[in-house]
Amino acid sequence: MSVSSATVPQRANIFLGAALAFLTTMMGTTLPTPLYPMYQQTMGFSQLMVTVIFAVYAAGVIAALLIAGRWSDQLGRRPMLLAGLALSAISDLVFLQAGGVGALLAGRVLSGLSAGIFTATATLAVMELAPPGWQRAGTLVATAANMGGLGLGPMVAGSLASLFAAPMVVPFGAHFVLVLVAVACIWRAPETVERPARPRLSVQKPGVPATVRPVFIPAAIAAFAGFMVCGFYTAASPAFLGQVLGYTHPALVGLVAGLVFIASTVGQMMQGRLPETSRLPSGCAVLLAGVLVVAWGMVEEQLAGFVLGAVVAGIGQGIAFRAGLGAISAASASKERSAVVSTFFVIAYVAISLPVVGIGLMSSVASLKVTALTFDLAVAALCCVSLALLYRRKPA
């Protein structure tokens, strides 16, 4: 069955199935977040190792984006999506029998590779499979599946871990079943691109032309700051909640970690309602307000501030990220756009990984509270830099 020959109800079912596959894969990437304290207790490793385990996930994402980011144009969307789901399923199997740090590292790399493939391919596939007249909905659903999946991962894992006797097994077993359902959805979906007779596979080389840099730099700084927040809540918030605030319940840990991504989804959907010229500065300002609320929650050791800050910062991150991506895409020539967007995503995933390793290093010589507060204020400083650059660019 081709896309054009499918009826509207068939197209709707195929479209929703592809979105489910996207959501499922992204859920798998954040599934371990509320379980890290349990792994630490069982395997006896430090907070630094937690952040390293998280960082290797981002390395997998970046590798997949750069190496295979354009392969779906040559090999087709379906084979790449099925490959991503296979990696996600193997990651689940590795976590199901994980007995040490090596297995956790391997599982995270596999999960990162699956996320990188889906980030590059599933957004296009979901939009291309949208029924006639659903193009705008296709973009929103792809956004919601991506960030919403990242948010649901820790929430689902935390809830399952608190309900069942095998907290480090049940979440991955349940996700493995969802991956099988996602495979069935992609298997019955039609191909949306015409594959060349002789595919040419190339590595995506990042690059930012000089003409795009005035737009790219403040957008990239804002994205870096926003994804630092995402990285903190995914990798370090379980330790902060437990060691500083005294909350260790897996469901609560998962809820707090997932909120920033759910809020980001809301922010990305909201940004289209703002005037185009004010989207990026508005996102930076909201992100700055959010991290200041987080800082208050840290200083006063208040769960309410820590949670409210996650929501506000997540909304700001979503507005700034989507506005920045739109701005650099519009400023780039068509032949350069792929490299510029790829560079933007690489910066985002560097931001979500390397700074949290800094948290692990600093927490070995300072208290976790001081470390987290320093990290939070660094994010606030980056927001201010981005806002200053945007103000300087503003026409008189």
Distance CA 272, CA 149 (A): 21
pLDDT-based confidence at residue 238 (cuts at 50, 70, 90): very high
Q: Is the pLDDT of residue 202 over 90?
A: no
pLDDT-based confidence at residue 5 (cuts at 50, 70, 90): low
- DSSP state string for 339-391: HHHHHHHHHHHHHTTHHHHHHHHHTTTS-HHHHHHHHHHHHHHHHHHHHHHHH
Mean pLDDT computed over 146-170: 95
Residue 316 vs residue 341, higher pLDDT = 316
Distance CA 39, CA 169 (A): 12
**Mean model confidence pLDDT for the chain:** 90
Alpha helices for the chain (secondary structure H): 8-30, 36-43, 47-68, 71-75, 77-96, 101-129, 135-163, 170-187, 213-235, 237-240, 250-270, 279-300, 303-331, 334-351, 354-362, 368-393
- Residue 8 is predicted with a pLDDT of 62
**CB atoms closer than 10 angstroms to residue 395:** 4
DSSP state of 191: P
Q: Is the pLDDT of residue 259 over 60?
A: yes
Going by C-alpha positions, the residue among 239, 248, 228 that lies closest to residue 48 is 239
Q: Is the pLDDT of residue 2 over 80?
A: no
- Residue 131 is predicted with a pLDDT of 84
Q: What is the share, in percent, of the chain residues with pLDDT greater than 90?
A: 63
- Residue 132 is predicted with a pLDDT of 81
pLDDT-based confidence at residue 150 (cuts at 50, 70, 90): very high
333, burial (CB in 10 Å: exposed 0-12, middle 13-18, buried 19+): exposed
Mean pLDDT computed over 164-187: 96
Q: Is the pLDDT of residue 366 over 70?
A: yes
- What's the pTM? 0.91
Q: In sequence order, what are the residues at sequence separation of 6 or more whose Cβ sits closer than 8 angstroms to the Cβ of residue 207?
A: 336, 339, 340, 343
pLDDT-based confidence at residue 396 (cuts at 50, 70, 90): very low
Mean pLDDT computed over 149-177: 96
For residue range 104-144, list pLDDT tens digits in order. Answer: 999 999 999 999 999 878 888 888 888 887 777 787 888 88
Q: Is the pLDDT of residue 1 over 50?
A: yes
Mean pLDDT computed over 314-326: 92
Query: What are the structural domains of the chain?
Result: 1-192 (1.20.1250.20), 205-396 (1.20.1250.20)
